[in-house]
Amino acid sequence: MKKWSLLLTLGLSASLLLGACGDDSSEANAEGEKIKLRAATGLSAQHAWWAASMEPWMERVEELTDGQVEFESFTGGELVAVPDEAEALESGTVDVSLVLPIYQPDQFPMAEITMLPLNHSDTFIASKAWKSLLESDVELADGKTFSELQFGKFKVFPVSTTQEYSISTTGKEFKSAKDVIGTSLRTPSRIHEMYAKETGLSSVTMPAVEMYDSLSRGTFDGSFYSIADWTGYGFQDLFKYTVTGINFGHFNTFIGMTQEKWDEMPENVQEAMTQANEEIFEAGAQEWITRSEAAIKQNEEKGGKFVEFSSLNQEVQDHFNKGIEDTWSSYAKLLEDNGQPGKELVKLWADLVVENGGKVPESVKNLK
């Protein structure tokens, strides 16, 4: 009995020792364990945000983690359609995605702020202002920042905005204010609808993918659109008249994952994702400029005409500029009426745009 008791004691001790070793080994393996993440977008694989921002970000994360992180990618609505990316993150359908909050004003009512028309801006100015807004520690309401109020459920990685939106038509020109009034333009956001109302434009709402056929048939005159994004839809073959030198806002996005998913990531992976985002940010902005230059060249070869805003009749300039000022006020009021800090947000955005080299209406600077 003594012999069996001794053997049992030795066995238990060995088991405990092996178990302890096993726990240490398991913990070590967990720290270096492969992490596979599903990444998706409803946009095409050729879209500038995916090709010049999301893909390089994923590749750099994989490099910085020595292959510890691997991404499985889905594009073109294969797994998630626009604008369902945020919902797909929350449901766990995907782990990381490009989120386009402007398409969901009911869920992200203040995200449209970057679409406000400006007196001067470009892709780099707006992108830096957008990044600053997402990272701002300024409290807008209830002790919360912009990101906390809008994207509190998500870990947000800023991505460049689009190039500035312009007005382009299939041929109609603006030689007087009367030419502006009644012109039918596709409006991509609530802010553009507001601007259209302030300036007497006729607003048309439809997905970008349906625009080519409608423009070809002459259903409406033109659109607010980013020149850099024309080639994805063939608009460089249709637009014949574009006003440049006046800015009708920038569409925004961000690379996002749920805060819960982010908290699961090991510290080295979090550091890699943050570093990768900083490294790809400016290159992503440059891509919009590069694509714009190519689209302009193609359009001019097909008879397209680009007109500098400052060369337009003064009456037309005054008409457009008044619309810019009125739209800022209308947007602030819309948010305030719905319980959001519209004036505080508008003032913050104006400050960030100016800090990064842009120009906003004089009346906005004096907003109280």
Tell me, yes or no, if the two domains 34-116+123-162+252-289 and 165-250+294-359 fold the same way: yes
> What's the pLDDT band for 209 if we cut at 50, 70, 90?
confident
Which pLDDT belongs to residue 364?
80
Which pLDDT belongs to residue 365?
72
Whole-number Å distance between alpha carbons of 9 and 218: 90
pLDDT tens string 147-198:
999 999 999 999 999 999 999 999 999 999 999 999 999 999 999 999 999 9
Q: Which position has the token pair 């393996």? A: 29
Q: Answer whether residue 229 shows pLDDT above 60.
A: yes
Which pLDDT belongs to residue 261?
98
Side chain identity at 92, as an amino acid letter?
G
Which pLDDT belongs to residue 296?
96
The pLDDT of 78-87, averaged and rounded, is 95
More confident residue, 15 or 51: 51
CATH classification of 34-116+123-162+252-289 is 3.40.190.170, yes or no? yes
Which pLDDT belongs to residue 351?
96
Domain map (residue ranges) of the chain = 34-116+123-162+252-289, 165-250+294-359
> What's the pLDDT band for 315 if we cut at 50, 70, 90?
very high
Lowest mean pLDDT among 4-8, 66-70, 71-75, 248-252: 4-8
Lowest mean pLDDT among 8-22, 73-87, 280-294, 295-309: 8-22
pLDDT tens string 37-53:
999 999 999 999 999 99
* Secondary-structure class of domain 165-250+294-359 per CATH: alpha beta
Proportion of the chain above pLDDT 70, given as a percent: 91
Question: Cβ(342)–Cβ(332) under 8 Å?
Answer: yes
pTM of the predicted model, to two decimals?
A: 0.88
Q: Answer whether residue 25 shows pLDDT above 80.
A: no
> What's the pLDDT band for 31 if we cut at 50, 70, 90?
low
Q: Answer whether residue 299 shows pLDDT above 50.
A: yes
Q: Answer whether residue 90 shows pLDDT above 90.
A: yes
Question: Cβ(103)–Cβ(252) under 8 Å?
Answer: no
Which pLDDT belongs to residue 368?
60
Mean pLDDT of the chain, nearest integer: 90
> What's the pLDDT band for 353 if we cut at 50, 70, 90?
very high
